[in-house]
Structure 1
């Protein structure tokens, strides 16, 4: 029987055939090209002593020691490399050890001073390099914070020649700002003087701009002006004596030094353009420079700045006085598209902006100018309603509501606020005035013939929008539902608002129905309920021994608010008299409450005056109450 031919063993996928070539028909397996090293020693199966009860090989003690040894060798190698790479590596390790001791909270003052002095002694002569280190710069900051004045002066002296390089370093910048916080007037002046010629270049850097802003905020008015003037013209960067002028406005500087306006504009544009493009918008010195630029810029240049600022970035600008004014100018002179971007950009930040002293004025400007009341109601009014009770008690948060209830009232907005709302860019204002004068020449001439006086074109410029201001107020306050929520909040918080220094003005304006009676007649029923709520507080017994707070008629703020309501709101005065004061005036003719009683004699409403005249006459005769000097009522305390 013939023997069967021996079958050829199939080669493994990817292995080479007898000819040394891999089989092209079979797929190549990843990793198959790695040759297997065949050990010459025979494989030894693990014995019983090498197998753990779980079935896994037990780790031998020698293996653990080898791993520890390898880790130790790797660590030593890394240390050796760091020593070669870092010049002061050993010193940094020593400083880090001292830092752990000196920054403990419950450490004694003497011990901390000892560690600080030791660290500064070790750093002597090497402070510049250490200030730029990620770790050691923190040690130096702690030392500067807790060291003596003599030690701090020594650090300042050593760093003085290197200020410009340090303010651009990511780590050293924190040390520089810390030193400025603790610097004397002479040291601060010396530091600001060292920045001469570098202000514009540092402002274009994210890190360097922080130091410029910090120095600007700490400096005096003269030092701030010196920093600003370097941004105006190249000549002011070159000649140090020119920046010591006392003029604060760019227009005055140009006039005094006889600078070319076109040259100033080109230089300022070259400085401010990169700042705007990089989004370095948080600093007050940048806001001031932009305001000065807009005061001399032509119409096209001013429009470019407004276009750059109109958007989400404006939120980072309006927290300063000049930044708020920039925001107001953007709202006033921006087109409909730019105003829409501004409103959408502040979405989600309305509550924070309303609480801010300067940011709230931008909201006031938007409510006074922008015609797109649907967009405002959807974004701004909606967010204001979400935190209504807190805002009406806040000094700044109440401003948007007061502007809608009583626009531009000098009782609620100081002269500086009203000046900000009336600002405009000269180049754009002049163009608008010339356009209006050109288009309305015939109308003006007709007014002169008919009335003998010209119409005031500035009203349109101040308002900014085309929609009638009364219509805009009606849509934002009443139609949006804000007025109804305001009345409900005042009804619920009547006592708290009346006693509040800032909330009392909200409840007063709501109770009288707003300026021009904007809340009447739609909310008359709710307003009468509000009057009842205030009167119910006045009806409560007075001067209780266990009372935690003063009676509403005797408390300082509430008594004055109720007095104004008696003078300005006859419906409230009548309700208060009938339900709370009639027959009880003897109790309230002394103290703060006497102002309320006396208001019934001062009111200009004859019906209210007759209502109380008979009961109050004996108190007038006895001298407890006084009649008004004139027939006009005195409404302001």
Structure 2
């Protein structure tokens, strides 16, 4: 009975236990059972009208399943919402993008494209300056400016005119400005150039703005180019630009006419040029023109500082223009041993590209004509040229490097302008003598094995620039021999000419290299070590001439004795090289001269009568006299006059 009463006295459930505890502990009854569990408004224990949820059910409710597609859509919607808040004209840009996809299709008719362009311009009207800096709207505007009517283009130009300077420095709007300049009328271009007044120097110091100035300079006429340049010369010329006429195109003439202080102009130009060079903005032709004018008035220290700054990798980026190439020649001519070495090393990997460019090749010509460090030139320049020697020979510009080594400064291969660029000099540095600093630097470099035999310049420069500047103390013939023969370039050159004799002879440019190689170069630079190789070249040309005559040969496969270029080259070799003439006669023409007595080949046969060498005339006299008697061959006028005398 006692046990039973004790069993009945126990509480029947947990609520009674909790009730007893609450009654015994007072305020502790308000706390939840698990202290770490935070009560929830929606899922709290004992909430009226809501079912009880366990921990597992809560976690499953939190982790609602979502697919990858839904996640992408949610991210896209979020990004769209952010863009709408950030971009004022987001909806307009979105609409323009759709119109752009329609108007830029290639197979669209002009009428349809004009319709979409007009619609896009109508939607952008009044908002063009605001949206021109967007990477999307800028592209739409470029297409519209390209294909719109003149009236629509004029409206866009007028709307953007007050904002040109701001747009010129924008990464995306700069392309729109350049496109507008490409399609601008003369009046619009003049208006744009006038809007640059007073801001040319600041724009040239800007990486993006300099592109616009260069583009305007490229499209401008001579007077407008001079207007842009005058702003960079001095403050007086910037304020009073109408004082200068077109006749004074050079800075020296402008200073002389207006009686401006040369020192003030030099200081102003230094302040303009220095930040441009420090930022490395040297790719533009307007900057190259300014530097060339600066060299004409700069003092010795300032000019040397610019050369030192350009002797790094900057010069390689400049020599693709006419003025940039001349700056490169001046840096080579007046630079110190270390500066020349930096310039040559900066060309590593770019020599072949430089050799094939019209203006840049003159820097290579200057290097092989001036620099005495032949080991460095062989290591960097000659080695790269040898890799594509055949293409170099056949190229209009590339052949000039080889021709300069074979026959230096020849007016047949270099235009007067090319020779003038090689003879340029900086007035303040033209009488530069060896300083103690230069000699000390050179001696230290030799001791460390860095210069590999280079010597400091000691040549005198003509004040008028009419004579070529001496490269250094090394004899020019010795320098040529080291670069051409000792380097192995000459041997490879002869091998290329032998293996491709027909193609090179028929080439308008390669035939000149063939002629100089066969002649052994100026001063017989190839004769001493390559006499046998040259005999093999004579035999290769003679074997081509000995091939049978073909009646239906194509223009590229014409016989070498009938081809326009090769026939003239062979005739010239007969007159100037008796050894070749004898080989050609015995191999190809003896007993066959009657066959070649007409057409282009007739001049080759006549050349044996015009030769100044008695052996050449004697070996062909009997056979050619019979052709003269038959009337198939005419005696040259020079030969007739010689016989009469």
TM bucket normalised to smaller: 0.7 to 0.9
Please list every run of 5 or more consecutive structure 1 residues that lacks an aligned counterpart in the other structure: 1-34, 51-56, 436-454
TM-score (norm 1): 0.84
Aligned length: 569
1:415 corresponds to: 416
Measured against aligned partners, the alpha-carbon deviations of 1:489-533 in whole angstroms (never above 9, x if no partner) come to 000110000000101011111111111111112111111111111
Measured against aligned partners, the alpha-carbon deviations of 1:569-612 in whole angstroms (never above 9, x if no partner) come to 11110011111111211121221111111111211111111222
- Structure 1 outlier segments of 4+, above 6 Å: 35-40, 57-60, 67-71, 630-633
Secondary structure of the corresponding residue to residue 233 of structure 2:
coil
CA offset at residue 428 of structure 1? Answer: 1.0
Further displaced range: 507-516 or 105-114:
105-114
Structure 1 Cα separation of the partners of residues 460 and 97 of structure 2:
71
CA offset at residue 427 of structure 1? Answer: 1.0
Q: Kindly report which structure 2 residues correspond to 1:174-253, keeping only aligned pairs within 5 A, or say none.
A: 174-242=175-243, 244-253=245-254
2:54 corresponds to: 42
Question: Does the CA contact (< 8 Å) of 1:478 and 1:484 recur in 2?
Answer: yes
Secondary structure of the corresponding residue to residue 87 of structure 1:
coil
2:330 corresponds to: 329
Further displaced range: 342-351 or 177-186:
177-186
What RMSD over aligned residues (CA atoms) do the two structures have, in Å? Answer: 2.8
Further displaced range: 547-556 or 530-539:
547-556
Is 1:462 the counterpart of 2:463? The answer is no
Q: Kindly report which structure 2 residues correspond to 1:199-598, keeping only aligned pairs within 5 A, or say none.
A: 199-242=200-243, 244-432=245-433, 458=462, 462-545=469-552, 549-598=557-606
- Flag the 1:338–1:460 CA change in 2: closer, same or farther, 3 A: farther
TM-score (norm 2): 0.83
Question: Does the CA contact (< 8 Å) of 1:602 and 1:628 recur in 2?
Answer: no
2:50 corresponds to: none
Further displaced range: 400-409 or 593-602:
593-602
CA offset at residue 431 of structure 1? Answer: 4.4
CA offset at residue 104 of structure 1? Answer: 2.1
Measured against aligned partners, the alpha-carbon deviations of 1:224-267 in whole angstroms (never above 9, x if no partner) come to 11111111101122224235543111100101111110100000
Secondary structure of the corresponding residue to residue 372 of structure 2:
coil
CA offset at residue 626 of structure 1? Answer: 2.8
CA offset at residue 350 of structure 1? Answer: 0.2
Structure 2 Cα separation of the partners of residues 354 and 568 of structure 1:
29
Question: Does the CA contact (< 8 Å) of 1:226 and 1:244 recur in 2?
Answer: no
Secondary structure of the corresponding residue to residue 586 of structure 1:
coil
Structure 1 Cα separation of the partners of residues 78 and 532 of structure 2:
85
Q: Kindly report which structure 2 residues correspond to 1:135-150, keeping only aligned pairs within 5 A, or say none.
A: 135-150=136-151
Question: Does the CA contact (< 8 Å) of 2:255 and 2:261 recur in 1?
Answer: yes
Secondary structure of the corresponding residue to residue 348 of structure 2:
coil
Question: Does the CA contact (< 8 Å) of 2:460 and 2:469 recur in 1?
Answer: no
Question: Does the CA contact (< 8 Å) of 2:422 and 2:468 recur in 1?
Answer: no
Structure 1 Cα separation of the partners of residues 603 and 61 of structure 2:
95
Is 1:606 the counterpart of 2:606? The answer is no
Structure 2 Cα separation of the partners of residues 519 and 68 of structure 1:
76
Measured against aligned partners, the alpha-carbon deviations of 1:118-139 in whole angstroms (never above 9, x if no partner) come to 1011111111112111211111
Secondary structure of the corresponding residue to residue 469 of structure 2:
helix
- Flag the 1:72–1:546 CA change in 2: closer, same or farther, 3 A: closer
Structure 2 Cα separation of the partners of residues 632 and 193 of structure 1:
68
Question: Does the CA contact (< 8 Å) of 2:232 and 2:272 recur in 1?
Answer: yes
Further displaced range: 611-620 or 301-310:
611-620
1:105 corresponds to: 106
Secondary structure of the corresponding residue to residue 463 of structure 1:
coil
- Flag the 1:253–1:434 CA change in 2: closer, same or farther, 3 A: farther
- Flag the 1:235–1:546 CA change in 2: closer, same or farther, 3 A: closer
Structure 1 Cα separation of the partners of residues 71 and 399 of structure 2:
69
Structure 2 Cα separation of the partners of residues 434 and 378 of structure 1:
28
Question: Does the CA contact (< 8 Å) of 2:563 and 2:600 recur in 1?
Answer: yes
Structure 2 Cα separation of the partners of residues 130 and 625 of structure 1:
79
Structure 1 Cα separation of the partners of residues 532 and 545 of structure 2:
20
